[in-house]
A and B are shown apart, each in its own frame.
Chain A
Amino acid sequence: MNDILSLSATELGRRIKAGDISPVDAVDACLARIEATEPKLNAYVRVLADEARAAAKQAEKEIAAGQWKGPMHGVPVALKDLYDLAHVPTTASSRVRENWTPNADSAAAERLKAAGAIVLGKTHTHEFAYGIVTPTTRNPWDTERTPGGSSGGSGATVASSGAFMAMGSDTGGSIRIPAGLCGTVGLKPTFGRVSRAGITSLSWGLDHAGPLTRTVEDAATCLQVLAGHDPRDPGSGDEPVPDYSAGLHDGIKGLRVGVPTNYFFDQLDPEVEAAVRQAYEQLQALGAELVDVALPMPEQIVAVEFAILLPEASDYHRQMLRDSAHLYNDDVRVMLEAGEFVPATTYIRAQRVRNLLQQEFRKLYDKVDVIVAPTIAATAVTAGTESITWPDGSEEPLISAYTRFALPGNVTGLPALSVPCGFSSEGLPVGFQAIGRPFDEATILRLGAAYESATEWHQRRPDI
């Protein structure tokens, strides 16, 4: 594999700025890697090789002329195929949308391009982001297995060094699940931190946009580019954007880390639990104070998520479902049909209970600065698996097993960062997530950076 591909996005950006590496070479290395891995992974809906090469040549000229745009100038990236890119189809990995081409960039694409990043292509999603396995795509750690979803293509290409970062979206874990299963970092920022303008919606009340990256520092670098108010997104917040690199490496001495005593450890793969318990020990060794916390209202979290998600998704798809129902995959079609029949009062009740949940979580953060928990209850399953059998013999649908731990972050809108923290005995990645206060991405990034500096999990690469 080309040496350039072993760098983080941030380090590549530094070397490009210094003139040690040309953006053209970085793009060529990625394109060669994509060409070599796509027959096994199928991470991309579309690779924009000519456009990327032209943008790289332009970046090279700009930097040589002293027009450096910032740490992502010349860095090759990918976009989940929910993100609009002007004059390139946004298919949402669906036959329903295969001929739809936007005229303008999504806010995220606009910001990344303005920062000088180079878009390599559009990655596969579970159809319309409504699912957690991305059936088109495979996991680079074991190509018989799922990369997770819905941002599965982004997880697969970042993990396999096809791109230095890739955008995902997270309505019920869809950034953190593929990050956890593919062994990358995944950042779901606070609801409202990153604009969703120009991203195909799944649920306006739960959708979050964010990056999948190889390192925590890369996530900070990307967030710096992506964060900020955008009046085109009604959910966008106008909180000030801090400098995410400042204090990133200051350590976590004295940081109060919440260790959940319920919900997150009720039912999960013992190997996942062991890896996360070891991560707590590592965080403590780094100076964190571990504090036991009980998650409030655990019985309501899943119901709030789905009572909001279902009707919002079904309303977005209402006409398409009537015009083109046969073009949807079965798993998505049945959820869209079901969402038509959720009573308005149930939807409103979920929004009221969500308010209570938010208030209860706020109290929790009087005792802690961050909560650390497993990202997912299990590792990557073989493609096509629909349920998980736990050691006690009980069976759980895969969608529940994979989303359960992610949902607190979606219904509360709190920022959550998934960080690699080990491997199973089968060589499959495990991650933990750090969940912070609203708009306090800086603290979860600082925790992630401290953990990463003391471990080597993020440096492992799949042999593909």
Chain B
Amino acid sequence: MSRPPLDDARLTTLSESVGLDLSPERRAVLMPALDGLLQQFDVLYDVEVDETAPLHSFDARWGDNK
């Protein structure tokens, strides 16, 4: 999976979409860190997951039955 490096325009779009104001100083710190993390996640797509469901802690039982 190839991912283009994060640039200022993409980070602007992303930050606006979540309503997080980022100063130029914050962008400079965040951009390489975020880029590195997102690239690290690419290995998750190297795995064949087929019909595997996600694990989560949701429990449909009510109150006293939990």
Residue with the greatest number of chain A CB neighbours at <10 A, chosen from B15, B20, B41, B54: B41
**In the complex, A337 Cα to B14 Cα: how many Å?**
11
Number of interface residues of A (CB under 8 A): 35
**In the complex, A462 Cα to B30 Cα: how many Å?**
40
Chain B residues with CB under 8 A of A204: 57
Do B52 and A303 touch (CB < 8 A)? no
The answer to whether A300 and B26 touch (CB under 8 A), given A352-B54, A355-B53, A358-B55, is no
Scan B37-57; emit 1 where CB is below 8 A from any A CB, else 0: 110111111110100111111
Scan A332-350; emit 1 where CB is below 8 A from any B CB, else 0: 0011011011100010111
Do A349 and B14 touch (CB < 8 A)? no
The answer to whether A334 and B40 touch (CB under 8 A), given A349-B45, A353-B47, A354-B55, is no
The answer to whether A346 and B34 touch (CB under 8 A), given A205-B56, A340-B20, A355-B55, is no
**In the complex, A297 Cα to B44 Cα: how many Å?**
10
**In the complex, A403 Cα to B58 Cα: how many Å?**
27
Q: B33 contacts the other chain (Cβ, under 8 Å)?
A: yes
Chain A residues with CB under 8 A of B54: 348, 351-352, 354-355
Interface of chain B, helix or strand or loop or mixed? helix
Binding site for B on A (CB under 8 A): 204-205, 231, 234-235, 297, 299-300, 302-304, 306-307, 310, 321-322, 330, 334-335, 337-338, 340-342, 346, 348-356, 358
Known: A303-B42, A334-B30, A341-B15. 13 other contacts (CB 8 A): A205-B56, A231-B63, A231-B66, A297-B47, A300-B44, A304-B44, A306-B41, A307-B41, A321-B20, A330-B29, A337-B20, A338-B34, A353-B52
Enumerate 19 A-B pairs (CB-CB under 8 Å) in ascending A order. A204-B57, A231-B66, A234-B58, A303-B40, A303-B43, A303-B44, A306-B41, A322-B20, A334-B33, A337-B34, A338-B33, A338-B34, A338-B37, A342-B37, A346-B44, A351-B56, A353-B44, A353-B47, A358-B55
- Which 8 A/B pairs are nearest by Cβ-Cβ distance? A351-B54, A338-B34, A235-B57, A355-B55, A352-B49, A349-B44, A352-B52, A340-B18
